[in-house]
Amino acid sequence: MANIDRIANVQISLQTAGINKKDFSTMLVAGPHVYSLPRVTAYTRADDMLTDGFAATDPLYLAVRDALSQIPRPRYVKVGRRQVDEVTLQINSVSNEAPYVLKILKKATDGSTTTLTYTFTSGAAATKAEIAGGLEDLITADANSPVSASVSTDDLVLTNKVAGTAFAVQLPKSMSVKSAPATSPVAPATSTVADDMAAINGEDKNWYGWGLTSRTSADIIAAADWTEGAGKLFGYSVAEAGAIDAASTTDTPYLLKEGNYYRTFGFYHASAATDFPELAVMARCFAVLPGGETWANKRLAGVNTDRLTETQFLAAAGKNLNTFESFEDSVTITQTGKVAAGEWIDVIRFRDWLQTEMQTNIFVLLINRDKVPYTDAGIASIEAQMRKALDLGQRRGGIAPTEYDEANNEIPGYVTNVPLAASISANTKASRILEDVTFSARLAGAVHVVNVTGSLTYEF
């Protein structure tokens, strides 16, 4: 049979390739835990964390709860697991002749997961020490266990055999991770903030803003350092007295301001040990697309109020530190809305979004055509992709619209400049690199404060 291609040869190519854009509305909170093997998990409800084993006092739970308490808010919050190499388990209730089942999960080098189950049945006169010791013997006898076990008084201590590798525990209701007086029930043994964040980001890059459960100055500064290079946005809170003292030059906010960190913002918060205003405001603002929000004057649900004197507020503002304060004892809102270096938080987020949007538009143009010619028409097609991103930035509210001055002269929201093909040297064309492509855009900004001056008179 003759092939129809002889008469009508039709070939259709697909010019629909796209790339995944960076997400500027997803947030993550990082902290140590032993309840899952993946570096990143996601929660749409904070109570689901309790089912997974987290305690209601765990800073990770409190942070996610504060974020998901906001209206509006993102659909979910991601939890980044910092490395834990030692954890202490406590026996909460003692029952005679009852099974105590402890499960330990480990991951092989090929990615497969193994669950090891240890069941100890208590005696007729059970004690916590007996139960802990019985589980210790079972774990010690198992050469495949990723942890070694020991007993400390009445508690069972699990220590990673290979530091830095992942293990997780699943506990019966009669057992729990023992709470510590520090900021978390467990603490990283050897890992640094940079190591943990590199591992978290290596597993899942699809998030933009993040926070840390640790409130120590060294960890916060290390997180700020990592964030600058990673192109993310980091928030923290401190209860340091020096943060609201203008004379202090050793507090964390002062050091971050001096370091000119453009991707880190902070809050003074007296309840920083258990409250996370930085994640609450992040959740509230991430519910709005980049360009449409400001981080000042936001009401936050589930976050305690700070009652600062005007002197204390001015000291915090002088360090580009944000606050959450009550006005007239009727409304509590965030103040300032700046990063440590003094820029507005919303400007940093919008800048990052616009860069990604424009970059993606141009990239998709180049990969979906056989070629973009080095001609006026080809250059114009690239300019069109720039304008496409800038137009969207205007619609989102980040770039000002076209406006007019008092003489009715047009003030455009943005202008683009591209060279004419004839003005480009042959050598530059031979390199196939297009240069001197620029734009300038007016930020729409936001009104945070209104000053009104008026007068009263009997006649005009």
> Which residues of the chain have a pLDDT value below 70?
1, 4-20, 179-190
What is the greatest pairwise CA distance in the chain?
102
Residue 320's H or E segment, with its range, is none
Q: 71 by DSSP, 3-state: which?
A: coil
Nearest Cα neighbor of 337 from 265, 280, 257, 397 is 265
State residue 190's pLDDT score: 58
**Confidence (pLDDT) at 62:** 97
Helix and strand element counts for the chain (H, E): 11, 19
Q: 317, exposed or middle or buried, with CB in 10 Å at 0-12, 13-18, 19+? A: middle
417, with CB counted inside 10 A (0-12, 13-18, 19+), is exposed
| Helix, strand or coil, per DSSP, at residue 166 | coil
Distance of CA 208 to the CA centre of its chain: 5
| pLDDT for res 107 | 86
C-alpha closest to that of 84 among 145, 156, 143, 35: 35
Q: For residue 137, give both structure tokens.
A: 């013997």
CA proximity to 286, closest of 24, 93, 22: 24
Q: Characterize 220-253 residue by residue with b for buried, 16 or more Cβ atoms within 10 angstroms of its Cβ, and e for exposed.
A: bbbbbbbbbebebbbbbbbbbebbbbeeeeebbb
Sign of CA dihedral 247, 253, 258, 262: negative
Provide the angle, in degrees to the nearest 10, between the axes of the packed helices 345-367 and 376-396. 150
Q: Which two tokens stand for residue 46?
A: 């904070």
CA atoms within 13 A on the CB side of 340: 29
Between CA 237 and CA 266 the distance in angstroms is 5
212: helix, strand or coil: strand
The string of pLDDT tens digits covering residues 314-354 is: 999 999 999 999 998 789 999 999 999 999 999 999 999 99
Contacts of 163 (CB under 8 A, 6+ apart): 85, 189, 190
420 SS3 class? coil
Q: How far apart are CA 55 and CA 458, in angstroms?
A: 67
Q: What confidence score (pLDDT) does residue 343 get?
A: 97
